[in-house]
């Protein structure tokens, strides 16, 4: 198979650009070798090879880091290096208009109840 094994849409680099615009950093981990191997999946033999260039480009676009794991021990070490944290951003929202709207609604409701109860506005 060609070095670029992605045979369907969307393009991984385009998706990485969208992720980067949303503030998502991607830390791809390559497992295997550039020489490739044949993998048996559900009775089918699939020839596959590691595309380190693509994974490095994805990491670069999203300000992440590419890692290559050769075995389970190196994969565990990589997991320990990746700083996984959830970041949130506080954002102030102006609610003056909403409070004023609720106040006006309550004022109108009070006037309507006064008309019903007393037959006049107080």
Domain ranges of the chain: 12-81, 92-122
* pLDDT for the residue 2: 44
CA 25 to CA 56: how far, in whole Å? 13
Mean pLDDT of 97-116: 94
Strands 44-48 and 37-41: antiparallel
* pLDDT for the residue 58: 94
Here the tokens at position 74 are 């190196």
Q: What is the CA radius of gyration of the chain?
A: 29
Is pLDDT larger for residue 49 or for residue 24?
24
pLDDT one-digit tens code per residue, 41-87: 888 888 888 889 999 999 999 999 999 988 889 889 998 888 777 77
* pLDDT for the residue 94: 93
Query: What average pLDDT does the structure give for the chain?
Result: 86
For 34, the 3-state DSSP assignment is coil
Give the predicted TM-score (pTM) of the model: 0.58
């Amino acid at each position: 198979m060609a070095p670029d094994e992605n045979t369907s849409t969307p393009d991984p680099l385009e998706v990485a650009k969208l992720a980067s615009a949303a503030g998502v950093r991607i830390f791809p981990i390559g497992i295997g070798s550039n020489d490739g191997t044949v993998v048996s999946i559900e009775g089918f033999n699939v020839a596959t090879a590691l595309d380190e260039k693509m994974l490095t480009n994805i990491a670069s676009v999203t300000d992440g880091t590419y890692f290559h794991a050769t075995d389970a021990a190196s994969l565990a070490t990589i997991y320990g290096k990746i700083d996984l944290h959830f970041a949130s951003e506080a954002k102030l929202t102006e609610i003056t208009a909403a409070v004023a709207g609720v106040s006006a609604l309550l004022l109108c409701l009070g006037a309507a109840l006064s008309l019903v109860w007393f037959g006049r506005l107080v």
